Amino acid sequence: MKWIAVAIILTFTLIVSSGCGQENKANSSKELTISAAASLKDSMMEIAKAYKSQHPDSQLDFNFGGSGTLRQQIAQGAPVDLFLAASESDVNALVANKKIISDTATPFLGNVLVLIAPKQSDTKDLKSLIQEKKRLAIATPKAAPAGDYAKEALTHLNLWKDAQENLVYGKDVRHVLTLVEEKSVEGGIVYNSDALVSNKVKVVEKVNPTAYSSIIYDAGVVSGSKQKTAAKAFLNYLQGTKAQQIFKKYGFASPKK
């Protein structure tokens, strides 16, 4: 009986130890959920691969979409660790609501707007495209910063009123790219970084940079994150030399006020 009791105790100890080991393993894993602007998709896939080669215990799960839509999800309590937005306003709104840790909010990228058209298009410029009443796609304002910037530019250039009749709205900037690739529209306003990832479109012209606010990509660690340290570490990595080189390859620029 004594040996049976000892065996039971040892067995129980092994089970508890095994359970604790699994719990510690789970706690030590660095699984991050990152909500990121749609325009970051291609560059982030390459950066994630580079980061994982240096941090093999990390796992990066991405949710790409319009920054405005992602902001609303985080505000409603979506389980996110890090927010990478294509605007400062979306991050600032979450800081104000205490959904983003204020001292982690930081600019990490810049970009510019361009007019794109299907590869074989004869579109000359933005003004003529609108005057000829051709279809122009932009991201939906408020849902995606690219749409806000595009609307601001068209308004400043006195083209907004004439453009509205033939405007087509994409859910985000990548949807706009797809619409142009599929020739569903004659032109689209996207970020320079989006234009560079497709061989089905061409850049017709850069949108006058004085016609819209500086495009600043902002980031911040979500207050409710259970992986704050790991999230901060990845955010720091995004601002480092290796990640910035990758971003530059994809058409992004350094953030400039």
List the chain domain ranges: 9-110+216-249, 113-206
pLDDT tens digits, residue range 167-181? 999 999 999 999 999
Task: Give the three-class secondary structure for 121.
Answer: coil
Pick the range with the lowest mean pLDDT from 8-17, 118-127, 151-160, 228-237. Answer: 8-17
Of the listed ranges 15-24, 26-35, 98-107, 234-243, the least confidently predicted one is 15-24
Task: Name residues whose C-beta falls within 8 Å of residue 119's C-beta, 6 or more positions apart in sequence.
Answer: 199, 200, 201, 202
In the prediction, which pLDDT does 256 show? Answer: 74
pLDDT at site 3:
42
Model's pTM, two decimal places?
A: 0.81
Judged against a pLDDT cut of 50, whether residue 143 lies above it is answered with yes
Domain 113-206 has CATH 3.40.190.10: yes
**Binding site feature residues for molybdate:** 39, 67, 146, 173, 191
Q: Look at residue 1 and tell me whether its pLDDT is greater than 50.
A: no
Q: Which residues are annotated as a binding site?
A: 39, 67, 146, 173, 191
Pairing assessment for the beta strands 106-111 and 215-221 based on DSSP bridges: antiparallel
pLDDT at residue 29, rounded to an integer: 61
**11 vs 159, more confident:** 159
Per-residue model confidence (pLDDT) at position 40 = 97
Band (pLDDT 50/70/90 cuts) for residue 257 is low
Position 250 pLDDT exceeds 90: yes
- Look at residue 255 in the predicted model and tell me its pLDDT: 87
- The CATH number of the structural domain formed by 9-110+216-249 is 3.40.190.10
Residue 28 has pLDDT above 80, yes or no: no
Residue 89, judged by CB atoms within 10 A of its CB (0-12, 13-18, 19+), counts as middle
**What mean pLDDT, rounded, does the chain reach?**
90
* Angle at CA of residue 93, ends 77 and 87, nearest 5°: 110
For 75-115, what is each residue's pLDDT tens digit?
999 999 999 999 999 999 999 999 999 999 999 999 999 99
- The percentage of residues in the chain with a pLDDT greater than 90, rounded to a whole number, is 87
Residue 45's pLDDT is what? 98
pLDDT digit string (tens) for 33-71?
A: 999 999 999 999 999 999 999 999 999 999 999 999 999
Nearest 5°: phi and psi at 116?
Answer: -115, 160
